[in-house]
Amino acid sequence: MTNQIKQFAFDVSLLVITQIVVYYGFKYVMSKLDPEQNEKSEITNKGNQAIKQLQLKNLKLNQYEKIVASEVVFSEQISEGFSDIGGIDKIIESLKESVIYPLTHPHLFNCRSGLIGTPKGVLLYGPPGCGKTMLAKALAKESGARFINLRLSTLLDKWYGESNKLAKAVFTLAEKLEPCLVFIDEVDSFLRNRNSDDHEATSMMKAEFMSLWDGLTTNNKSRVILIGATNRPNDIDLAMLRRMPKRFYLQPPNEPQRVQILKILLKDVALSPHFDFVKLAKDTQNMSGSDIKEVCRSAAMNPIYEYIRKNPSATSTPFNYSQEPTQDSQISQRLYRHVENRDFEMFLNQNDSSLLTSYNINNMDIFNIDQCD
């Protein structure tokens, strides 16, 4: 009898051990077969680091939330604030009132019916290079809220159903981190018009995203806002657009706005005392903020080129790469003359075509709802 019991115990333990070996062996083989294994563990590590940096006690995340957590951006990592953006003071003021204050001072926006509070979606739209991405980053820096810079690649997974779980994780993580801003740049590519040709997995993910977003809209207490930026607002699905009721049109800058942008872009450049910002603003008509930045960059380098041409010896000695280059701009600026209006004229005459002029600004018209200029 005892022998039979012993034999039985031996068989059971053998069965258990073989099952465990098969389980872990299979898991190991599967992980080795997955070509994205290293990438995945890197993302999860990044997510774990972000969670540590958040210093939130009792924050427990599942594997999908950890992947999304790798997209959390901290305000210290962002260099641009509102003061670095020129010509959109009214939009900034409106964003502060409609987004930042309800997030940071929820007690002031308390209403049982949920009529008062944060909008659950904000859309920044306008022609390319007019500061949409820059504004969203500045918002992350100045709001003090946690910021998830959501990329489409984060949500895509080759396994069926995984994208849905990742989409869900965006919302569950944002709720755990609230107050939280979820930023989707070039939102048109993600939330574009749905049609019957869409891949099943993509349409399932979009549907999941929409219903989870609705959940936010119905939850009065939630302090999560989705912010989208696009230069193709007409491509966004109408149902998605409905979920972004607060819309800001970042239009090509007019003359006074260009003066402000120029003053910001040239604040650290040694300018001649007779420098005329208004004339330069007139000369940069039809240009976006990004075009103006490019013009400023080229013009500000003109005195350096001039100095090099006059002093060939300045570049003839081989550079010692082991030596740290001087970071003090004032020392190097003493070498060459101050930047003048003529530096810009030279450049503007060569490149008088702007990308913006060829861009059809009229295709933004139907969305001029919350336009602040």
Query: From the CA atom positions of the chain, what is the Rg in Å?
Result: 27
For strand 246-249 and strand 224-230, is the pairing parallel, antiparallel, or unpaired?
Answer: unpaired
245 binds, among ligand ATP, Mg ion, none (CB under 5 to 8 A by kind): none
Binding range to ligand ATP, per CB under 6 A, among 36-44, 61-69, 83-91, 99-107: 83-91
Number of chain residues interacting with Mg ion (CB under 5 A) = 2
Nearer to ligand ATP, 119 or 289 (CB): 289
48, 75, 104, 133: residue in contact with Mg ion (rule CB under 5 A)? 133
Q: Quickly tell me which residue has 């869409």 as its tokens.
A: 198
Contact status: 133 vs ligand ATP (CB under 6 A): yes
What CA–CA distance (Å, rounded) separates 54 from 347? 46
Q: Quickly tell me which residue has 């041409």 as its tokens.
A: 309
98, 154, 231, 354: residue in contact with ligand ATP (rule CB under 6 A)? 231
Number of chain residues interacting with ligand ATP (CB under 6 A) = 18
Give the CB-nearest residue to ligand ATP: 289
Contact status: 290 vs ligand ATP (CB under 6 A): yes
Contact status: 289 vs ligand ATP (CB under 6 A): yes
Helix axes 255-265, 289-310, angle to 10 degrees: 50
47 binds, among ligand ATP, Mg ion, none (CB under 5 to 8 A by kind): none
For strand 121-125 and strand 224-230, is the pairing parallel, antiparallel, or unpaired?
Answer: parallel
| 168: Cα within 13 Å, side-chain hemisphere | 11
Contact status: 121 vs ligand ATP (CB under 6 A): no
What CA–CA distance (Å, rounded) separates 270 from 299? 12
Name the minimum Å distance from CB 128 to ligand ATP: 3
228 binds, among Mg ion, ligand ATP, none (CB under 5 to 8 A by kind): none
Hey, is 137 helix, strand or coil? Answer: helix
Contact status: 261 vs ligand ATP (CB under 6 A): yes
**Which conformational region is residue 271 in: left (phi greater than 0), alpha (psi within -120 to 50 degrees), or beta?**
beta
Contact status: 233 vs ligand ATP (CB under 6 A): no
H helices of 128-199, in order, are: 132-143, 152-155, 162-177, 187-190
The binding site for Mg ion (CB under 5 A) comprises 132-133
| Site of interaction with ligand ATP (CB under 6 A) | 85-88, 128-134, 229, 231, 261, 264, 289-290, 293
